[in-house]
Chains A and B, each alone.
Chain A
Amino acid sequence: MSIEVRGLNKNFGDFVALDDVDVTIPTGQLTALLGPSGGGKSTLLRIIAGLEKADTGSVSIEGVEATHLPAQKRNVGFVFQHYAVFKHMTVAKNVAFGLEIRKRPKDEIEHRVRELLELVHLSQFAHRLPSQLSGGQRQRMALARALAVEPSVLLLDEPFGALDAKVRKELRDWLRRLHDDVHVTTVFVTHDQEEALEVADEIVVINEGRVEQVGTPDQLYDEPANDFVMSFLGEVTHLGGLALRPHDIELESSPSLAGSVEGTISRLVRIGFEVRLTVLTVDGEEVSVVVTRAHARAQRLEEGRTVWLTPAPGAAVVPRMAAAV
Chain B
Amino acid sequence: MIWFSALVLIPLMAVVVTAVEGGWDVFWATITNGQTSAAIRLTVLTALGVTAVNVVMGPLIAWVLVRDRFWGKSVLEVMIDIPFALPTIVAGLVLLSLYGNDSPVGVDIANERPAVFLAFLFVTLPFVVRMVQPVLEELDRDVEEAAASLGASRITTFRRIILPSLAPAIAAGAALSFARGVSEYGSLVLLSGNLPFKTEVTSVRILSSIENDNVPAAAAVATVLLAISLAVIVLLDLIQRRVAARG
Contact = CB atoms under 8 A, between A and B. Distances in A.
Query: Is B truly associated with A?
Result: yes
A72 B142 contact: no
B152 A80 contact: no
Contacts of A88: 164-165, 244-245, 247
Nearest to A101: B151
B152 A97 contact: yes
A101 B244 contact: no
B145 A84 contact: yes
A89 B151 contact: no
Question: Which of B146, B153, B244, B247 is the most central at the interface, judged by chain A CB atoms within 10 Å of its CB?
Answer: B146
Interface in A128-152: 142, 145-146, 148-149
B149 A101 contact: no
A50 B143 contact: no
B148 interface: yes
A85 B156 contact: no
Interface string A307-321: 000000000000000
Nearest to B154: A72
A32 interface: no
Given A71-B145, A89-B247, A93-B247, A98 B150 contact: yes
Given A88-B245, A89-B247, A93-B247, A102 B142 contact: no
Contacts of B152: 72, 97, 101
Contact of A84 (B140, B153, B160): B140
Interface string B130-164: 00000000001011011111111100100011001
Contacts of A72: 148-149, 151-153
A148 B245 CA distance: 22
A49 B247 CA distance: 24
Nearest to B148: A71
A51 interface: yes
B142 to A, nearest CB: 4
A84 B142 contact: yes
Interface string A77-99: 11010101111110001000110
Nearest to B141: A84
Contacts, number: 68
A80 B145 contact: yes
Given A88-B164, A88-B245, A88-B247, A76 B149 contact: yes
A10 interface: no
A74 interface: yes
Contacts of A86: 143, 146-147, 160-161, 247
Given A71-B145, A84-B142, A85-B143, A149 B151 contact: yes
A101 B147 CA distance: 10
A101 B140 CA distance: 21
Interface in A106-145: 142, 145
A74 B147 CA distance: 13
Contact of A97 (B140, B142, B147, B244): B147
Nearest to B244: A88
A185 to B, nearest CB: 15
Given A84-B140, A89-B247, A78 B151 contact: no
Interface string A157-174: 000000000000000000
Contacts of A49: 149
B143 A84 contact: yes
Interface of B: 140, 142-143, 145-153, 156, 160-161, 164-165, 244-245, 247
Given A72-B151, A80-B145, 12 more contacts: A77-B149, A80-B146, A84-B146, A85-B143, A86-B143, A86-B160, A88-B245, A97-B147, A98-B150, A148-B150, A149-B150, A149-B151
Interface of A: 49-51, 70-78, 80, 82, 84-89, 93, 97-98, 101-102, 142, 145-146, 148-149
17 contacts: A51-B148, A72-B148, A72-B151, A73-B151, A80-B145, A84-B145, A86-B146, A88-B165, A97-B150, A97-B152, A97-B247, A101-B150, A101-B152, A101-B156, A145-B150, A148-B150, A149-B150
| A-B residue pairs, 3 tightest by C-beta | A84-B142, A98-B150, A89-B247
